[in-house]
Structure 1
């Protein structure tokens, strides 16, 4: 079943659209505050579609992510008890949030850098930083460096792979997609 090939073609079509950079910026901002889908899923196809714009797209993603991080910080700082804590409890993120707070207590600003660079949910750390009254300038610097490194690395690797990577992805996208589905199902059954 070629479900993922069709999805791949649809994504590549939209990655070339004139509004794609604006959508990338909005997605990235939202992901830094509350949205569950990482911006890499749009950044990568946009770089594949227009490799000469790789650094431009990485810059848009970095700036939007840091701005979203600032919004998350402000939510944690000003609105934690009123808005954020009830949502954390409702969506079942309390354990993750408690872990983020513990990591902050142990490692401080380095946690923001690591969360910015890694696939760990950055949004938990932006809100946690505000809630814990972390100094804003170190938060901003760690976010900018961590997020920038991540998005420039993604854009650079995709650009480096170029057309041969695009051909390989197109050829193997269904196998990769179904393999991920199987892994998710196995993880869900195992962890449940």
Structure 2
């Protein structure tokens, strides 16, 4: 069965909403394919569920982020000796932890709105024992902007959204990254 036929079946299926949640969970944990490739066509065809799709994608991502954080937090101790011997030093790791304490919110937030993989922030926050509530808040804000932003685009531009997202994906990500870095820089100075 072709991908196009599978997409049509998913869009019209009673499992569409749980499928979006699962896809978001998988995208935030192990699948390196941007969720937008799935969300935009689904949102275009199921406009009556536009806001619910964005909400469930956010929920799936937050569940995945929690799992990734836990993975970094609990499993790092099992691999700490190996990491300190082969990848980094105690001094570098201590600097990394301090950096997460001061910049962890913005680092996590930036991975939520830019094409930078969220997995990096999840593991880094867990390993550094960064504040779980702040980590989840930064992730939630970033992904709400991203997923509800897509919903707004579909609401206003309809079927043209997919072309707009494909055409301006990297430019939008770059602009978002520049904005986050600028805000971050002004807050630090």
Calculate the TM-score normalised by the size of structure 1: 0.68
Q: Which of the residues 17, 20, 28 maps onto 1:21?
A: 17
The within-5 A match list for 1:110-149 is: 110-149=106-145
C-alpha separation between the residues in 2 aligned to 1:104 and 1:59?
28
* Maintained 8 Å contact 2:100/2:130: no
Write the distance in 1 (CA, Å) between the matches of 2:81 and 2:119. 14
Q: Is the 8 A contact 1:77 1:133 kept in 2?
A: yes
**Aligned pairs for 1:75-90 within 5 A:** 75-82=71-78
The alignment covers a number of residue pairs equal to 153
Where does structure 2 lack aligned partners over 5 or more consecutive residues?
Answer: 88-92, 167-189
Q: Tell me how large the CA RMSD over aligned residues is.
A: 3.1
Deviation at 1:11? 2.2
Task: Provide TM-score, normalisation by structure 2.
Answer: 0.69
Task: Say if 1:12 and 1:49, in contact at 8 Å, map to a contact too.
Answer: no
Q: Which of 48, 53, 74 is matched with 1:52 structurally?
A: 48
Report the alpha carbon displacement of residue 8 of structure 1 after superposing the two structures with TM: 4.4
Mark the runs of 5 or more structure 1 residues left unpaired by the alignment: 1-5, 87-93, 170-175, 177-192
Match status 1:157 vs 2:157: no
Dislocated runs of 4+, deviation >6 Å: 83-86
Contact 1:33–1:127 (CA under 8 A) maintained in structure 2: no
Pair 1:70-2:71 in alignment: no
Cα deviation for residue 159 of structure 1 reads: 2.4
Aligned-residue offset at 1:9? 5.6
Instruction: Single out whichever of 36-45 and 10-19 deviates more from structure 2.
Output: 10-19
CA contact (8 A) 1:75 1:84 kept: no
